[in-house]
Amino acid sequence: MTGQINAFEMAQRQFDGVAKLLNLDPQIAEVLRWPMREYSFRIPVRMDDGSLRVFQGYRVQHNDARGPNKGGIRFHPSETFDTVRALATWMTWKCAVADIPLGGGKGGVVVDPSTLSTTEKERLCRGWVQVMWKNIGPRLDVPAPDVGTTAQMMGWMMDEYSKLVGEYTPGVFTGKPLGGGGSEGRTEATGFGVIYTVREAMKFLNIDPKNSVAAIEGFGNVAQYAAIGFTEMLGGKVACVSCWDRNDKTSYTYSHKDGVNPRFLLTITDQYGTIDKKKALDAGYILEEGDKWIEKEANVLIPAAIEGHVNADTVKKISKSVKIVAEGANGPCTPEADEYFKANGIFNIPDFLCNAGGVTTSYFESVQNDMNFYWTKEEVLQKLDTKMTQAFQAVLDMSLKEKVYMRDAAYMVAIDRVVKAMQLRGWV
């Protein structure tokens, strides 16, 4: 967890607030406040120099009433059990709001993957599966990529699982590489999904996308495709992106007088989302400190990096012209930031609605794995657009009907669906 904000306390606080609004039976609420199963384990890995290093790993399965647990595995140096708990909880709500038949899970390893060689990464990925394989599976728990993990890593993990169970089992991990059981459109899915919800919010608020400007935090997978979608699908301008520079161990904001060109930036960005500073400067980009993105003149803010960066301190710096905050990351805005949005009439597209495109396409991937028949990219993205638009509409309708803020409305839609599944199964 970054900073002082405990993500799990935040997830529980958000849930408690809505449980009250929904008049949820306190005994049922108690079931949902906590993950159903949690794993904390050590993974010994032989390093390239012959030494043995032990890594801390986690997997949390929050709730599987609607279907197998689903959610990514993060490789992050400041990963904690509580961060993974929070993220697993949010996955339950995310799958429910997207109306896909899956529950919530999340995993993690305390590691900075950029410090490992390719072979060390492969051994760590295989080691994670060697510990967890009995507790995951296509009908049990299906992990996927997240911060610090890639399609290649999912390929290794799927391979290790298949070897251990003795048969090819592509549906155990999603976000796999194309040609290795992956789905067309999975790479673009989360970022494009963010933009489908922004498009719907703009329709509702009567905002012209072509005259819109976005300030984006991050330049990892979600931010990259959100930036591409914002310029190419909506015709808007991206004022800036930011990125963690792993050489300088600090983050920078990159802007350009004509707006940033995400396709160009992609060509000079490494697999961990670090932009080549020199090449960017040569191309006329302006470099500022990492937290400057939040102050840029824009009407759409897309935090697509890590939890808690839009908080009591930073939220006051956002430009007066901001009308929409679209949460590409998981948990980027704290409850204090929410209060500021409410007081200033800023429309929020909450994380587990806004970034549900990734897991929705993961669901499509597992469906294709089961059928052993694969769709085209156009088919996948069309289905994704339909799902995201329906999810946005369901939350907006709830928000208007109950006169509640979008985050509360998303929780109401999600909790209602999960509780219904638990009741139908006779759990509560």
Binding site for ligand GLU (CB under 6 A): 70-72, 94, 144, 146, 174-175, 330, 355, 358-359, 362
Judged by DSSP in three states, 303 sits in strand
Q: Residue 376 corresponds to which tokens in the numbers above?
A: 């085209």
Scanning 166-283, the segments in alpha helix (DSSP H) are 186-205, 221-232, 262-267, 277-282
Report the distance separating Cα 292 and Cα 313, nearest Å. Answer: 13
Q: Which is nearer to ligand GLU, 105 or 262 (CB)?
A: 105
* Nearest distance from C-beta of residue 348 to ligand GLU, angstroms: 18
Q: In this structure, are residues 196 and 391 in contact, taking their beta carbons and an 8 Å threshold? A: no
What CA–CA distance (Å, rounded) separates 287 from 279?
A: 12
CB of 268 to ligand GLU, least distance (A): 25
Angle between helices 377-402 and 357-371 (to 10 degrees): 130
Whether residue 307 contacts residue 329, with contact meaning beta carbons closer than 8 Å, is answered with yes
Nearest to 397, CA basis, from 387, 406, 384: 406
Cα distance between residue 337 and residue 9, in whole Å = 16
Q: Give 175 or 236: the residue with its C-beta nearer to ligand GLU.
A: 175
Known catalytic residue: 106? yes
From the CB of 208, what's the least distance to ligand GLU, in Å? 30
Q: Where are the beta strands (DSSP E) in 124-236?
A: 141-145, 213-217
Tell me the C-alpha to C-alpha distance, in Å, between residue 323 and each of 78, 221, 320, 348. Answer: 32, 24, 8, 9
Q: Judged by CB, which is closer to ligand GLU: 93, or 285? A: 93
Nearer to ligand GLU, 245 or 351 (CB): 351
- Min dist CB 333 to ligand GLU, Å, is 16
Catalytic residue among 106, 121, 176, 296: 106
Question: Looking at beta carbons, which residue is closest to ligand GLU?
Answer: 72
Nearer to ligand GLU (CB atom), residue 64 or residue 146 = 146
Copy the structure tokens of residue 364: 């499509």
CB of 345 to ligand GLU, least distance (A): 28
The tokens of 287 are what?
A: 């470099």
Catalytic positions: 106
